[in-house]
Structure 1
Amino acid sequence: MDFWSHLTQLLLQPPGSLAYHLVLTFALIGALQGAFFHWQATRYPQGARLMLGLGGLLGLRVLLFLVQALAWQGVLEPTWLPALERLANVGGMVLLFWLWAFPEPSSKADVATSLLLLFLVALALFTWVMLTPDNLRWFHGSWLDRLWSGLGLVLALAGVGVLAWRRPEGSLYGGLTLLALAAGHLVHLLLIEPGATASMALRLGELAAYPFVFSLLYRYPLPAASPKGERPVPAAEAPYLMTPSPDGEVALTTPAPTQPPSAAALEALVQALRSLDPEERSERLAQAAAQYLVADLCLLMSPPFTSGLMDVVAGYDLIREQALPGHTLAVDQVPLVASASEKGKTLRLPASSTSSDLHTIARWLGLESSGPLLAVPLVARSDTPALGTLVFLSPFAQRPWTHEDEQRAKRFAQAAARVLLASVSDQSAQVGELEAEVEQLRQRLAETQTRLDKALSQREELEERLASAQDHLESLAALMDDLETLQQEVNRLEDENRELKEQLLTLNYFPEALEGEAGELSGEPTVSPTPPEDEQLRQSLRMALEEVALLKSELAFRDQQMLELERRNAVPQQALLYSSLISLVQDVRQHLSTIVGYTDLLLSESAGLLGKLQREFLERIRHAAEKVTKIVEDAANLASMDVEGQSTLEMEPVQLSEVLDAAIVEHGSLLREKRLTLRVDLPDTLPTLKVNRDALQQIVNHLLHNAALASPEEGDIFLRVEERFLPEGRFIQLAVQDSGPGIAEEDLPRVFSRIYRTGYRTIEGLGDNGVGLPLVKTLVEALGGRVWVESRLGEGATFEVLLPLEPESAPAPEETPAEQAAPYAKESPASEPAQGRGDEEAEG
């Protein structure tokens, strides 16, 4: 016979199955006996509930044992056994869950448990009715068997969930008990034993679960033993207090008959309110509360934080007359105290409570038991939140807190809260003033930091510009050295050229002299040269002519070298500077494009979300970068025009209306932002200009931009176009007038100046103080036209542009009559004669 057969006979078949019943019965008897001794020592109501539950479990087991014994002897029908065993299995599990989950009296839980037990009794009677001696063998595996097993499995798992949610003291052992029973039911459902009268899986699960009932006895604290068999003396019965002696034992001592508790408490409360140190104030308040209520220990706890923690701000030990250190507790460790503090309610817990609050506080204080607990919130009024919680404990005297103690503690807490609120409001005003000063200092610090950053940025920029200027100076110095060398070479070549010319004159005269002499010799008939002499003269003449030809060729070559040197030397230094400026502008434009690109990337929030202030700063950076980019492009265009000149502009037919529409659309947002009114005066048909489109577009854009910036909010801008017939030819005149403060007469010559001088100041009444207007002048002159400005203080400024309709054959006039330059005789105040006029300024 193998082990499994022995185990089956021992657990299922009588008389071996009697051992299973005896083991469970004796385990329940031992636990019941311990519960009785515990209840006799403490008289806790939880002890009575424990004895009631264990008694019910023992009654079910004894009844099942007796019925099986009588059925074995043939006194009773065996049809009782399946129903009664299932009732003992599932009903015992319900009672164990009730003992673990609800150690404190709970009417709802008690009623629900009673109804569930009645349902199980009814189901057991139904099972007994359905079974007969003939069909007893088919019970295992039947729908009734599966109903009992499924019900037991569901109730066990539901009990584990409730224990995990409520988390009573010792819930771990309760969860293990229910899991063992649930495992037995699950194995029975999976491995049905046909023909058996009992289930081995269920009995093995019960044998594993029922020994945990002994841990129920350790859920309730035992009172500390009094020395020499004396019982603890509550503080309410006699003026004795349980005071630990230095050797660790507890002895009865009499407090010093100094001041009544209320007077000492009042003095401590006054000292607490006078203290400016929050830590000392909290300690004095805990001391006053302990003396007022004559509590062994008093703790001052903060309200629950959102992080799930509560701080023990201060504490006072009335027995030792010393302050307790602060501590931090988790909210789930003191759930009842945390809930009462959050709701502003009073909480009383007896020493017999199984709540984790008492055990957590006792473990922190190093006590076997915390004794009865009374928690009172610090609430000035019912509609205000609690400032904290006063927790009174009596671990030594085991003083039960009465309703009268609760009312006294509430009155003390209310008075202390009102005084604290008054002092806190005064301190809040002081704190508010200090915070305002701190905020001002923070703002000043931020402004200083901003100025410092700006200064550092300017310093870096100046250092970069200085380095660039030094590089340019070095280049210019090298260029000057080259020019000096070239000049010396030119001087040397000029000297050589002069010498060659003198030699050439000499050589030119020498053949003539030779020819004259030859003529004279040929004219004398009496003297005829000998043939050798004639041949010698011819050879000398031929050699002289060859030398002259060589000198002429050398002179031509030297002339070409001189022309090349003069051409290279004729390049102005200003053009070289403009070329360097164009190269520098290209580098700056690349860096600005990088800044704009990264700013757009940040604004798209691809690298993270932005706050409102951060987005505003980035928008400002982007706007400033775009503005600087436009200025740099204008400077590049201006330098390019100076270097390349008019020859680089490609002329084409351009519709003036398209250029005006594009300029108005581009500046529409600026006009709407300043609420400006644009008044346009155009002829019915606008002529077609043969100009460079980009140059004309830039001219109109800069003039409109300057007028928009110079005009105040809700001002007017006038745009007029008309055709002029002058002696020099047909012209188109474009006028843009703003409604700004006007330009002073002494500032008019500097309007189109591109040269910056240290003594120059910003021109009042001018919207664009950059390179926009100098660029306009350069572009207009490149198109063969002319630009000038007329202004009167207080009446705005008018910019006039005169362009030829046929720039190839009609150059711009040198002067324009004043009556032709005065626009808007009917629509604008600027129709009066202008005070000043500025058009050109020397660039040197």
Structure 2
Amino acid sequence: MSLLEQFIQLLSVWPGNMLYHLITLFALQVVFAISWSHWRRDRTDQVARRMAVAAGVVFLARLGVMVAGLVLRADVARATAVLPPLEQLSHTITAVFLAYALIPHPRRQPYLGDTIAAITTIILIVMYLFFAQSWPPQAAAGIPYNGSPQATVWGIIQLLILVTGLALLSTRRRYWFSLPQGMMALFLLAHAAHFWNYPDLAAPDLNVAYWIRLGHLVVLPLWAVQAYRHTLTAVLRHAHRPAAAITAVMNQTANVIASLSLDSVLRAGIMLAEQQLHPAFTAVGVRDEENPDILHLTSNLPQVGTNQPRTWMINLNDWPAFRLAITRQETVQLHPNGLGARQLYAWYQEMGTPAFGALMAQPLTGRTEPVGILLLAAPEDQVSWPDSAQQQAQAMGRLLGQAIENAQIHAHVLAASSSAPPPPPPSEPDTAMKGRLIALEEEREHLIAQLEKANLRLQQAEERARAANKRALSLAATIEELEKQRGDARIAELEAEIEALHEALAEAEEAMAMAAASENKLSTEWVMQTITRYSGQLEEAQARIMQLESELERRKTGPIDAVIVSLVQELRQPMTSIAGYTDLLLGETMGILGTKQRDFLQRVKANIERMGALLNQIVQLTTGVKVDTTVLATEADVLSAVESAVSAVMTQLREKNLQLELDIRHDLPPVPIPPPILDQILVNLLNNACLSSQENGRILVRAYADNLPPPHQNGRFEPVSFCHLTITDNGTGIAPEDISRVFTPQYQATDPLIKGVGDTGAGLALVRQLTEAHGGRVWVESEPGQGSTFSLIFPLHTNEQSEEHPEQETEA
């Protein structure tokens, strides 16, 4: 028997197979213990967490196989029927979680691997339950498990998992020729060898996957080595080496404060941060002295084609996290899978660098205020900075802030000294010192004098600005008074002309009456000429009166209407921008929204639509309600109009938790009014009911058809059919003295609002104008404390009327 045959025999039969189980369980315990201990020390290490979870799951699966083997050891037939499918399930779970532990996971979805591993495990368990029921009859027939279709299915699944894991590892250059890649390749080789059949190496009826067991003996100890290496690397990265660390920090700190050149300070600060915190990316930003919102960044990344450090210039208004750090003078972190993730990836994209780990923004504090910011990007597999790193960054922020401020002060002193005339060469050291002091004193006095002149000029400019503002206000008041006087004079002239025309009209009517009364005494020809002449004058006077009254009304309201329409157009511009950004956010093109965020945005959108409706009402009331005769022949369905209006005020109903009840007959005939007009009327009435009603209140909408018997005409009765709609709310009710003002379109701003009416006047006034313009009527009935009921009636066209008066309907 060859050595390989002996080894296979050792892995397959008792007690060698027990030794195999013990070795694999021991290796898994080592992986779990090392990874779990390290993860408890550093909760940000996701690799250690995944290895601990994977080792724990695989340990439980292999422990179950070993316990089942011990229990069924005495019953060979039962063991043959139970153990092979169970061991294949254990092998497949081992492949799944080994790939889960070693494959790098996407940073934007750190828990995607957990979900895939959990779903795959559930599917494998379901497969095992099915195979465990179908295998015992085949085992009783003497079929070897390694040649059965079940073993083939398990093997294909295992190979697919391992090939996928090896391919994902190979996509990252850092994993090429690494230990994780070697482990996946060895495990894949062992599973591929399981498909080979060696009848000369092992008994053909053997049900043990000995090649996979051999792969476990090689790969699982290597996994323990990988866990130890990962933990040791992390520990050494943060290990405290007192003497060497203190020496390095002191030397680097000396480099920071040794030079008064700003560029040298920035380079030394970047080197200090790299040496102490080992970031993947480091940048120091200095605020612009003229515009503090501008940051000049210097990084540890080289420029393309040169060895000079790469620089940027950014605006703090574009990066809220950096502005927050500088404003509050506290450390701010952007996590790749949590707070600030969107801004973090936008920053990496702006820099043109790979997506590193968490980004820490530490303000650089000078003597009085922040002078800049320190940006530190963690390595790719680090989702946050530990507290120790934050404390070191805060100390570096104070050190660099002081050094930068000293460099800036030194630059100002050099600039001032270079602009001043050089003093005469002294003959003695004391004379030189005194001359320098005198020159500095003179320069200080000169600067103070210039400052006083500047303050005086500033005060004079402010006084001139106040005088100009006062004069502008006086001129505006004068112009307004002149326009008012000119308009009052013109209005008075028009009113006088109208009064004169009314008198002429009265005289004409009186003359016609006298002519008619004395017709029997005068000639017929004279009477007819007089009547004709006065009739013409009467028609001309009436036409002129109507023209003058229209011009008078236009002159009274024309300027105001123009101003209102202009203001409405100005208001629509920001509303359009707000609505566009709201739709953009609701479309989740800028990121996924939470439930509360979507609710708030939907409320914003509803209020924008409500404001747009109010502006449309103001324009309609200002320009007047015009009836389009081309759409008068259209008819509206009452039920459809009510449903459309209810959907428009649904947000208000939910905000107040109002109960809406509908009592509408489905056989109502259509109303002779354009559907958009009826929708607008009902929306305004329902909006008023929502605003008037109290929270948890009730709104009732009723609609029905009715007939009225008119007086006897033309020898027969013609019933009048109409549609009656009512909207009832449970508000506080309207006082009797205020009912006459409910539908008033405009009244003075000093008048109080009507209690019990939610609308401010525009919507209800528009309701009345639209209703009356289309042949309907509207009124309100209310009692204080009992709510209000708004009623609408519209005439209905009956079949008889349509048949008897076709010409009238065509003309309408």
TM-score of the aligned structures, taking structure 2 as reference length: 0.34
Q: Which has the higher contact order (CA 8 A, sep 6+)?
A: 2
